[in-house]
Amino acid sequence: MDTDFVYDGHNDTTEELPLNITTIYLPEYETYTGFKSYMDYRALSNVSSDQYALQLNSYTGDLGIRMYNGRYLVAIGSYFGLNIGDEFDIMLENGTIIPAVMGDLKDDNDTDVNNVYTVKTNCCTEFIIDSSSAATNIFKRYGDVSYAAQDWNSKVVAIQIIN
């Protein structure tokens, strides 16, 4: 893991970030296209799980993606060492930052040797959505959350962990 970058506290967005952020760059694979998958939040059905508890305190945002404290709920692999409810930012190749919360953990059996990318879909981020929301129609048509917002159609290059 490449974790040598430490955030210096300056940001061009209006969100105020803490001083301790660790950036983990994704392993580069030629086959990675930037695809961003999704799953419906109702798939988190184990009522005794942390994922389920987080869903009970979440809401569906304008894009049809589940949110917690203004951050998108996303499943990522164990490579990043996060726990359910941990905050992180998704850094895209075009400079866009997507604020996120760990809403689910990808199963290591479904991911590559580094536990970053889902083997079946070749994605590193799986957004947790409300599939009954009309707002999801645009990206469900293409099968890719990259189409949820114009500036999201770019590869994920790193995950910024908020310590």
CA atoms of 98 and 15, how far apart (whole Å): 11
For the ranges 9-13, 82-86, 87-91, 135-139, the lowest mean pLDDT is seen at 9-13
| 162 band by pLDDT with thresholds 50, 70 and 90 | confident
Per residue in 127-153, pLDDT (tens digit) is 999 999 999 998 999 999 999 999 999
What's the confidence (pLDDT) of residue 46?
Answer: 94
Q: For residue 112, give the nearest of 85, 143, 78, 137 by alpha carbon.
A: 78
**Among residues of the chain, what percentage have pLDDT more than 90?**
75
Asked if the model's pLDDT at residue 7 lies above 80, the reply is: no
Q: How confident is the model over 59-84, as a mean pLDDT?
A: 96
Q: How confident is the model over 24-49, as a mean pLDDT?
A: 92
For residue 136, the SS3 value is helix
Q: Name which residue leads in pLDDT, 86 or 1.
A: 86
What's the confidence (pLDDT) of residue 19?
Answer: 63
| 111 band by pLDDT with thresholds 50, 70 and 90 | very high
What's the confidence (pLDDT) of residue 163?
Answer: 80
CB within 8 A of 94, min separation 6: which ones? 151, 154
What's the confidence (pLDDT) of residue 156?
Answer: 95
Asked if the model's pLDDT at residue 86 lies above 90, the reply is: yes
